[in-house]
Structures are given as structure tokens and as C-alpha cells.
């Protein structure tokens, strides 16, 4: 016998799922943006003629953000 508790959030609420997935996308974008800014700053300080640190930091940001996204998607229960 199931009880309907009005204080308990509905796990199958599609709006909640959209909000969670949107938040994950925004988080991914912020992580990549911050690593790009870090790469630009390191290049301006230590390598003004090249873009090596920008490329390295961008790829590192993408890898970290994908790791975080996969970890969060594994926690979502359908």
C-alpha cells in the first residue's frame, strides 16, 4: 500500500529532471570556461608567443568536466 506524502518530492517529476540536467550542462560550461581562462593567463605570464598552456588547460577542463558529468549522471536514479 503506497502512501502519498505531500512533503516528499516526486522522483518522476520531468521538470525536476530537466532542472538537474540543465544544471549539469551549466556546470560543465563553467568548468571549461575557467580552465580556458587559466590557460590564457598562464600563457600570458610564461609563454607570451605560444598557446600551449591554453590548449593543455582546455583539454584538461573538458576531461574534468566530463568526469564530473558522468559521475553525476550515475547518481541520478530513474
43 in a domain, yes or no? yes
**pLDDT score for 55:** 96
Question: pLDDT digit string (tens) for 42-63?
Answer: 999 998 898 999 999 999 999 9
Is the pLDDT at 1 greater than 50? The verdict is no
% of the chain residues with pLDDT over 90: 53
4 lies in some domain: no
What domain range is 55 assigned to? 28-75
Tally of domains in the chain: 1
Backbone CA torsion sign across 78, 62, 23, 68: positive
Q: How confident is the model at residue 3 (pLDDT cuts 50, 70, 90)?
A: low
Query: What average pLDDT is seen over the chain?
Result: 86
56 is a domain residue: yes
Residue 50 lies in a domain: yes
Residue 67 falls inside a structural domain = yes
Give me the helices (H) in 1-78, please.
Answer: 14-46, 52-75
Report the candidate in 55, 13, 63 with the shortest Cα–Cα distance to residue 36: 55
pTM: 0.77
Residue 40 lies in a domain: yes
Amino acid at each position: 500500500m503506497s502512501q502519498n506524502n505531500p512533503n516528499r518530492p516526486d522522483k518522476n517529476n520531468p521538470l525536476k529532471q530537466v532542472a538537474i540536467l540543465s544544471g549539469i550542462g551549466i556546470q560543465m560550461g563553467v568548468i571549461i570556461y575557467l580552465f580556458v581562462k587559466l590557460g590564457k593567463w598562464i600563457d600570458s605570464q610564461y609563454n607570451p608567443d605560444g598557446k600551449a598552456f591554453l590548449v593543455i588547460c582546455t583539454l584538461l577542463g573538458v576531461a574534468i568536466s566530463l568526469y564530473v558529468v558522468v559521475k553525476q549522471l550515475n547518481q541520478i536514479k530513474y
